[in-house]
Chain A
Amino acid sequence: MGTLIKQEIYKLTHKKGTWFAIGLMILVQVAFALMQHSNPKLYGLESLVNNDYLGGGIYLFIMIASAASIIAMEFQYGTIKQLLYRQYYRSQIFISKLIVLFMQLVVLQVIASLVSFMLTAIFSPNFDWMQKVGSNTFLHQYLVGILGNGLVNCLLLSVVILIATLLKTNAAAITSGFIGYFVSMAASGIILVLINKWHWLRFNPFTMLMTSSQLLTPSMSKVTLMSTPLMVSLTIGYAVLFTVIAYLSFRKRHV
């Protein structure tokens, strides 16, 4: 298993795209920090920091592309046979890929946060991380936001992995990941209306894309009709479910 994880990391770190994407993310963060600095009225500093100077959105896009290609690329490059004929179980190969994806997710978030801290320190040295937001500090809300986004991202990525595994092409998976992301952004209002009309609809996976919002604004439970712990559990549950379906299809596949 250790060998497999090392091999996945080797592939990931030898792809130019991996480094290019990190560079792009930092560049975007710096650009937004500069814009904010030259024209403070353009964006609210608090919301910019909360969104890691837009780094959070970029890193989700990077992860969608990465999740889509980590399995689909093996089919695309014809390397899947080399990967599968060796002494390892298919489950080990699949899990090693999940672990490396998760590591990438964590590393990207850490980089985005560090850059945010630095940019804030450089351009807004007076920014008060301990200011009160509601009954909590800003820092507390920032960290809860990271946790919530991490959860929702895992759900989104599990869908991308499922589609990539079923269709064996990363293009389809990337597209559906992006569409899923934008739909969820745009459609949360509609979903809430529908939930209000048919209560059982609240359990559909799209509602779970609002878990991060509810973590930050607990009063949202009045419209999602679910307690926050239930919503967190369901988010994790759906992510696991989609991943397991992806694994079952991967395990049976003739190559």
Chain B
Amino acid sequence: MSNLLSVQQLDIAFGKHQVLHQVSFDVAAGHIVALVGPNGAGKSTIMKAVLGLISIDHGHLTIDSHPVSMTSHEALKQVGALIEYPGIYPFLTGRQHLELFADKENREANIEQVIKALHMTDYIDHKAKLYSLGMKQKLGIAQALVDRPKLVILDEPMNGLDPEAVKQLRDYIRQLASEGTSFLISSHILSELEKLADDVLFLDQGHIIRQTSMAELVTSGGTSYHITTADDADAKSRLIALGLPVLTDDTDPEKIILLQKTPQTLNQALHTLLTANIEIVDIVKVQHDLEESFLDMVNHQQEVK
């Protein structure tokens, strides 16, 4: 099995509030998967479920083919995680935190390595109650990484980190991934993960609304075409029938917004419309940066994958 983490049809409700709807995705070995969505989308909830911290209503979770639930934690031996915010014992030093949680195997070497990689040497022997926000965050990340687990789950890891620290973390994550570690990393800022992730999951209100590779997103995601025709409704249904990525603007449901998924997307669309004898009145090319395209994604209900 090449999928280290597999999440199948996950439903979670807190009381009457359904927070996750049929969430399914996989994380392949050595892949970095970004989980992107606005506040309250359910990112942390997915991660807590994967870590067996909350009960699930429906669905199936496996790590390395072993099932995980609140009462079966065996597979979590291979997992390191930082969820929401780092937990810090104020009376311990940074190094003592790492000693507390690190496995016996290669303990000292692993601890030294993560301290160096995250540039924490200067303050690692100070009491953690003296740490700044970013220092605590780094310590939380270091705890997740110190045992060199197969799967690492990081919830908004860049929180509170300065640009240099972000770069150092990115480099280290990429290095670990190239050595075979898998990552599931959440953020509400897509561009933060643009230079890092292999795959991207867009989560909105508990639904996965798009699942794509970062490469595809970068070639396509920035560009969309607003097409105006003599008969928008007909044109739109034909494009959708062909499986082209058409978004719907809630304020103007007939408006055709075509996402450029591949460089051929526009050609295919025009070909379809011309063949169907639909008169094209106007085409506007809109160039977004990644951030806007993410906002588009959330604001527009996507009709077709």
> Which residues on A are within 8 Å of B, measured CB to CB?
7, 10-11, 14-16, 73-74, 77-89, 254-255
Contact = CB atoms under 8 A, between A and B. Distances in A.
B71 A14 contact: no
B261 to A, nearest CB: 37
Contact of A85 (B53, B88, B89): B53
Contacts of A255: 48, 53-54
Contacts of A73: 89
A84 B53 CA distance: 7
Contacts of A7: 100-101
B87 interface: yes
B92 A14 contact: yes
A10 B100 contact: yes
B285 interface: no
A11 B278 CA distance: 73
5 contacts: A77-B89, A78-B85, A82-B81, A87-B75, A88-B73
A83 B91 CA distance: 17
B248 to A, nearest CB: 36
Contacts of A11: 89, 92, 100
Contacts of B87: 74, 77-83
B143 to A, nearest CB: 7
B74 interface: yes
| Interface of B (DSSP majority class) | loop
Interface in B51-77: 51-55, 71, 73-77
B88 A87 contact: no
Contacts of B71: 89
A133 to B, nearest CB: 44
Contacts of B85: 78
B88 A77 contact: yes
A74 to B, nearest CB: 8
Contacts of B40: none
Contacts of A78: 85-88
Contacts of B83: 81, 85
B96 interface: yes
A77 B76 contact: no
Contacts of B77: 86-87
Contacts of B99: 10
B134 interface: no
A35 B88 CA distance: 43
B91 A16 contact: yes
Nearest to B50: A85
A40 B51 CA distance: 63
B46 to A, nearest CB: 14
> Which among B71, B89, B101 has the highest number of chain A CB atoms within 10 Å?
B89
